[in-house]
C-alpha cells in the first residue's frame, strides 16, 4: 500500500476529530476577521473560538452559498493582508461574476500536499510520468494537480486540454503512465486513436484520474476496458481549493475525503439537518486548511453519501460515493460549470434579443456541445441579413466571455421557440443520464 503521509492518512478517528476541532476553532477566529462573516457570526452568537466546544457546534455556524461568494467579490472574504496572497483561482458564479479563491504561500503548500496524497493513493509515484490534460489558467485542476504530481515526484507534462494528436505523441514519446482528464476527454481520446494511427501497445498508460464532471460507474468501466487502464475518481471544487478534496485509493470504492483539511457534512438539502451515513444528501464542506480565505459550511449542491465502514487500504478518512446529481440547475459542459442564469444575464442585456430562449446540451461524439437558441426582435428579420449575423457574433462573443466556453448561437423569429405552460423550461439536456 502506498501512502504519501501515512501517519496522517491512517490517524485514528479520535485523532482526526481532535485536529478538526482545533482547526475549526482557528478557522472561526479567522472568519471573524472578514467583513463578510463577522456580522453573521456575531448574530449567531459566535464571538470567538471559545464558542466552539465540540464538532457538533458547527451547527451554530451559518451556511455559505455561491451567491455569498459572489456578493463578497472581490475581497470580502479575505482574512489576511493582501500582500500575503500568492495565488488566485476562479470558477463560474451563478451569474457573470466569478467566485474567486485566494491562497497564501502556506495555503498553497498545504493544498499541494493534499494533492500529492491524492495522486499517490492509487499507487503512482516517482517512477511515473504524469500528463495533465486539463485546463490550466484560472481553473484549479491545471496548476493544482500539476504541483501535486510534481511534489509526489512524478515527471509532469503540462499538456493542457485538447489536441488529441499532440497528446498521443507526448504519451508515446515520453512514456506517460498516468493522466488527469475529464472522463469525456478520455472517451474522445480513445475514439481518435485509430484515426491518429496510434496503437494501444505503443503507449505505457496505466491509469487515469478523472473528475471535474459527473460520470457513471459504467463510463468508468468503459474507459478502463477500452484503454486497458484503471480509472480513479477525483472530486473537488474551487471553493475547497479544487482537486485534492476527495480521491479514490487503489480499491476504487468511493473517494476518501481528506478530513484533516476539510470538515464534511451530509445534509438534507431542504431542512439543513444531517442525514445518517449511507443516505444520500447534499455535501457541505468547511475548509480547515486555508489562512487567506475561510469558507464555512459551503453548500456544494452536489448529492452523495458517506460510505459506511472501513476501507481495506487502512486510511481512516471517510469515503463519499460517486456524485449522484445536483440540487440546482448548474450544468457541467466538458468539465466547465455553466449556470442558465449566466446565459440569461448575457441575453437580457441585449435589446435586440427577445424574451424566449433555450439552452440545448447534447453529445457530439464523446464531447458535450452547447447551443443557445434565442428569439430576437421582429425587426431583425429584414431583407438584409448582415445585422442578424452581426448580432449572432456579438451574442457568441458575450457568451464566451461570461461562461468561458464556446457555444453555438441560433437566432429565431419571435414566437418560434416552444413555450412551456407554467415555469419556463430553459434547458434541454439530451446527454445520456448517469
Residues that bind ligand AMP (CB under 6 A): 91, 140, 211-214, 233-238, 242, 300, 302, 323, 332, 337
Q: Per rule CB under 5 A, is residue 257 in the interface with Zn ion?
A: no
Smallest gap, in angstroms, from Cβ of residue 310 to Zn ion?
A: 9
* Omega before 147 within 30 of 0, i.e. cis: no
Smallest gap, in angstroms, from Cβ of residue 221 to Zn ion?
A: 19
Closer residue to Zn ion (CB): 37 or 247: 247
Closer residue to ligand AMP (CB): 120 or 233: 233
**Residue in 249, 264, 333, 399 binding Zn ion, rule: CB under 5 A:** 249
Q: Per rule CB under 5 A, is residue 246 in the interface with Zn ion?
A: no
140 interface partner picked from ligand AMP, Zn ion, none, CB below 5 to 8 A per type: ligand AMP
Report the site for Zn ion in 126-145 (rule: CB under 5 A).
none
Smallest gap, in angstroms, from Cβ of residue 411 to Zn ion?
A: 52
Smallest gap, in angstroms, from Cβ of residue 311 to Zn ion?
A: 3
Candidates 33-41, 156-164, 303-311, 334-342: pick the segment binding Zn ion (CB under 5 A): 303-311
Q: H helices of 360-421, where?
A: 386-403
249 interface partner picked from ligand AMP, Zn ion, none, CB below 5 to 8 A per type: Zn ion
Pairing of strands 255-257, 230-237: unpaired
313 interface partner picked from Zn ion, ligand AMP, none, CB below 5 to 8 A per type: Zn ion
Q: What is the CA radius of gyration of the chain?
A: 23
Smallest gap, in angstroms, from Cβ of residue 393 to ligand AMP?
A: 27
Smallest gap, in angstroms, from Cβ of residue 427 to Zn ion?
A: 36
Candidates 59-67, 71-79, 191-199, 249-257: pick the segment binding Zn ion (CB under 5 A): 249-257
120 interface partner picked from ligand AMP, Zn ion, none, CB below 5 to 8 A per type: none
Residues 398, 402, 404, 405, CA torsion sign: negative
Residues 36, 39, 45, 50, CA torsion sign: positive
| Other Cβ atoms closer than 10 A to 372 | 21
Q: Minimal CA–CA distance to 210: which of 190, 241, 237, 185?
A: 185
Smallest gap, in angstroms, from Cβ of residue 281 to Zn ion?
A: 22
Q: Supply φ then ψ for residue 57, to 5 degrees.
A: -70, -5
111 contacts 289 by C-beta, under 8 angstroms: yes
Q: H helices of 52-163, where?
A: 66-71, 105-120, 140-151
Size of the site for Zn ion (CB under 5 A): 5
Residue 178, helix vs strand vs coil: strand
Q: Per rule CB under 5 A, is residue 24 in the interface with Zn ion?
A: no
Closer residue to ligand AMP (CB): 11 or 361: 361
**Residue in 288, 293, 311, 338 binding Zn ion, rule: CB under 5 A:** 311
Closer residue to ligand AMP (CB): 52 or 210: 210
311 interface partner picked from ligand AMP, Zn ion, none, CB below 5 to 8 A per type: Zn ion
414 interface partner picked from Zn ion, ligand AMP, none, CB below 5 to 8 A per type: none
**Measured distance CA(89)–CA(434) in Å, rounded:** 29
Smallest gap, in angstroms, from Cβ of residue 171 to Zn ion?
A: 28
Adjacent-strand bridge partners of 248:
255
Whole-Å CA distances, 350 to 222, 248, 344, 375, 414: 44, 45, 10, 12, 15
266 contacts 281 by C-beta, under 8 angstroms: yes
36 interface partner picked from Zn ion, ligand AMP, none, CB below 5 to 8 A per type: none
Adjacent-strand bridge partners of 402:
none
Q: H helices of 216-373, where?
A: 217-227, 340-348
257 contacts 264 by C-beta, under 8 angstroms: yes
Neighbouring C-alpha atoms within 13 Å toward the C-beta of 101: 24
235 interface partner picked from ligand AMP, Zn ion, none, CB below 5 to 8 A per type: ligand AMP
Q: Minimal CA–CA distance to 291: which of 52, 118, 110, 41?
A: 110
Q: Per rule CB under 5 A, is residue 100 in the interface with Zn ion?
A: no
Candidates 33-41, 98-106, 133-141, 251-259: pick the segment binding Zn ion (CB under 5 A): 251-259
Smallest gap, in angstroms, from Cβ of residue 233 to ligand AMP?
A: 5
Task: By CB under 5 A, name the binding residues for Zn ion.
Answer: 249, 251, 311, 313, 315
Amino acid at each position: 500500500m502506498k501512502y504519501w503521509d501515512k501517519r496522517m492518512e491512517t490517524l485514528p478517528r479520535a485523532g482526526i476529530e481532535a485536529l478538526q476541532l482545533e482547526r475549526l476553532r482557528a478557522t472561526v477566529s479567522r472568519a471573524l476577521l472578514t467583513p463578510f462573516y463577522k456580522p453573521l457570526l456575531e448574530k449567531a452568537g459566535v464571538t470567538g473560538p471559545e464558542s466552539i466546544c465540540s464538532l457538533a457546534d458547527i451547527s451554530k455556524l451559518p451556511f455559505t452559498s455561491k451567491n455569498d461568494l459572489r456578493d463578497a467579490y472581490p475581497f470580502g472574504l479575505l482574512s489576511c493582508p493582501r500582500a500575503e496572497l500568492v495565488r488566485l483561482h476562479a470558477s463560474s458564479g451563478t451569474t457573470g461574476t466569478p467566485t474567486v479563491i485566494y491562497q497564501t504561500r502556506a495555503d498553497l503548500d498545504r493544498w499541494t500536499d493534499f494533492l500529492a496524497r491524492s495522486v499517490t493513493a492509487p499507487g503512482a509515484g516517482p517512477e511515473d510520468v504524469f500528463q495533465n490534460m486539463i485546463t490550466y489558467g484560472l481553473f484549479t485542476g491545471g496548476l493544482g494537480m500539476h504541483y501535486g504530481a510534481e511534489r509526489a515526484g512524478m515527471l509532469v507534462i503540462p499538456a493542457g486540454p485538447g489536441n488529441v494528436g499532440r497528446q498521443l505523441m507526448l504519451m508515446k514519446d515520453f512514456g506517460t503512465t498516468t493522466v488527469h482528464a475529464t472522463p469525456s476527454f478520455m472517451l474522445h481520446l480513445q475514439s481518435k486513436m485509430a484515426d491518429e494511427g496510434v496503437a494501444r501497445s505503443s503507449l505505457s498508460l496505466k491509469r487515469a484520474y478523472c473528475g471535474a464532471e459527473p460520470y457513471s460507474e459504467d463510463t468508468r468501466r468503459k474507459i478502463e476496458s477500452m484503454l486497458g487502464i484503471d480509472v480513479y475518481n477525483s472530486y473537488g471544487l474551487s471553493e475547497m481549493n479544487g482537486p485534492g478534496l476527495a480521491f479514490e485509493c487503489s480499491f476504487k470504492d468511493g473517494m476518501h475525503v481528506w478530513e484533516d483539511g476539510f470538515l464534511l457534512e451530509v445534509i438534507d438539502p431542504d431542512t439543513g439537518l444531517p442525514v445518517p451515513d449511507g443516505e444520500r444528501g447534499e455535501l457541505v464542506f468547511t475548509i480547515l486548511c486555508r489562512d487567506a480565505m475561510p469558507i464555512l459550511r459551503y453548500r456544494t449542491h452536489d448529492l452523495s453519501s458517506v460510505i459506511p465502514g472501513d476501507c481495506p487500504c487502512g486510511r481512516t478518512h471517510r469515503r463519499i460515493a460517486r456524485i449522484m446529481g445536483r440540487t440546482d440547475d448548474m450544468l457541467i459542459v466538458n468539465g466547465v460549470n455553466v449556470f442558465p442564469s449566466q446565459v440569461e444575464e448575457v441575453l437580457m442585456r441585449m435589446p435586440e434579443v427577445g424574451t424566449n430562449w433555450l439552452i440545448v446540451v447534447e453529445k457530439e461524439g464523446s464531447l458535450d456541445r452547447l447551443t443557445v437558441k434565442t428569439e430576437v426582435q421582429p425587426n431583425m428579420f429584414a431583407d438584409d441579413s448582415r445585422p442578424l449575423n452581426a448580432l449572432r457574433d456579438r451574442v457568441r462573443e458575450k457568451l464566451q466571455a461570461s461562461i468561458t466556453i464556446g457555444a453555438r448561437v441560433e437566432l429565431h423569429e419571435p414566437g418560434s421557440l416552444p413555450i412551456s405552460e407554467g415555469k419556463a423550461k430553459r434547458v434541454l439536456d439530451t446527454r445520456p443520464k448517469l
